[in-house]
Amino acid sequence: MAEQSPAKKVKCQVKGFLSEVSPIKNTKAPYFDAILQHEGERSKIVSFRPEDHMHFHNAESTRSLVTLEDVVLQRSKESSRKMNVFYTHSSKMSCVRNLREAFKQTKSAGPRDLQVSELLNRDSKPNKVNINVKIIQEVCKGNYVVWDGRYLPKTNYIVADTTGSISLTVWCECNIIVGDWYNITNVSVKEFRGKTTLSTTRNTQILKIPSRGTAAASEVPTQTIKCDINGANIKSVVVCPHSHELKAVTSSESTVYCLSCNTYYKTTAIVSKFSGHLNLKAESGKVVRARIEDELIKSVVKVEDASSPQDIIQRLIELPPMQITIRESNIVKVENVPNNTEIKAEAEAEIPIKMEPVEESDDLCSPPDHGVLFSSQSRKRPSTD
């Protein structure tokens, strides 16, 4: 069953102060976003009423208390935000100049330039920073459905400066080369499973710079094993030519309607993306569970337009013993087993592989702003051999 659209959900009222009002995004369904400070919390607002953009800007500049009526609330996955607020075509805003209610936070002067150690050791984390780092390692990559229904490329890196290392998530394709130094501005600071991480936003700029010294970092352990695939759980996402997720697609129909694009597409233009996890039985008898993404699945098994997740599962399980490389419970390479080749970990000592199940969820991922520069540029990355 298709998920209920924001406009059909229960309408609520919220009150607070506006900040970080964005420009209007010139899509087929124009919108803009902002931050609402209320009850000591910060929430993201997505407004589908571009005609109210000037009112939002005026409320921000005058630091007026605003009341938003008939909005849709959705709990945010971001630890720094309380909820997402959808300001729909039926919503209304009123401003109240109440001098007794002080603006809780002075207007930001912009992201600060910080070193990695400074960021990691701060008790109160900033929302965004500027940072100079070296790209140490590409950890894993895949595609994920984000809050606005788009299925976007996502790549995780380990980056470092001379003081320490940190994880960086880059949304959309980006011309980044492992081993080079970059100046990264307007990058969002996140807390994930108790660790501080960085994530690009629509305003992030990534520029190559000369070396800043020897980076203080160690790579994420990688292990290559010979194993049988003795279990799999694969799911599929169907997307339109503009990467919006589609619900309830019927292959017998000649056209498919995309609500986000407000366009009917030929069914033949619709693409299925597969991902999930595999259970791998190593020669030692240990069973390892690791995530596999669409690109790798299609590199090792045949996938036709009409293939279902069950078809993919069957073909993966029928594969002979394979040589599989794993990094942080993510499969990064699948190969045939070479003849007379002993499979060893890259490091001298045995590298443990996490045995916890990879989280499988139908929830939408929610990156800070779902966009990033360089989306039209080709990606360059070194061989992982």
The 10s digit of each residue's pLDDT in 165-201 is: 999 999 988 889 999 999 999 999 988 778 899 999 8
For the whole prediction, is pTM greater than 0.85? no
Final residue of a domain: which of 146, 175, 209? 209
Residues 122 and 74 reside in one and the same domain:
no
**Nearest C-alpha neighbor of 69 from the set 14, 7, 21, 8:** 14
**Nearest C-alpha neighbor of 146 from the set 192, 214, 186, 201:** 201
Residues 151 and 194 reside in one and the same domain:
yes
Residues 238-251, mean pLDDT to the nearest whole number: 86
pLDDT at 381: 44
Q: Is residue 23 part of a domain?
A: yes
Final residue of a domain: which of 154, 183, 209? 209
Q: Is residue 78 part of a domain?
A: yes
Q: Is the pLDDT of residue 289 over 90?
A: yes
**Nearest C-alpha neighbor of 140 from the set 290, 272, 307:** 290
Q: Is residue 214 part of a domain?
A: no
Whether residue 359 contacts residue 237, with contact meaning beta carbons closer than 8 Å, is answered with no
What's the pLDDT band for 330 if we cut at 50, 70, 90? very high
Neighbouring CB atoms inside 10 A of 62's CB total 10
Residues 204 and 229 reside in one and the same domain:
no
Residues 232 and 146 reside in one and the same domain:
no
Q: Is residue 351 part of a domain?
A: no
Q: Is residue 379 part of a domain?
A: no
Residues 32 and 91 reside in one and the same domain:
yes
Final residue of a domain: which of 61, 96, 131? 96
**Nearest C-alpha neighbor of 375 from the set 74, 77, 170:** 170
Q: Is residue 354 part of a domain?
A: no
Q: Is the pLDDT of residue 311 over 90?
A: yes
DSSP secondary structure string, 286-335?
A: -EEEEEE-HHHHHHHS---TT--HHHHHHHHHTS--EEEEEETTEEEEEE
Domain of 52 in residue numbering reads as 9-96
**Nearest C-alpha neighbor of 63 from the set 23, 126, 32, 105:** 105
Residues 226 and 326 reside in one and the same domain:
yes
Q: Provide, rounded to the nearest whole percent, the portion of the chain with pLDDT above 70.
A: 80
Whether residue 292 contacts residue 278, with contact meaning beta carbons closer than 8 Å, is answered with yes
What's the pLDDT band for 342 if we cut at 50, 70, 90? low
Element spanning 352, H or E = none
Residues 232 and 197 reside in one and the same domain:
no
The domain total for the chain is 3
Q: Is residue 45 part of a domain?
A: yes
Residues 172 and 122 reside in one and the same domain:
yes
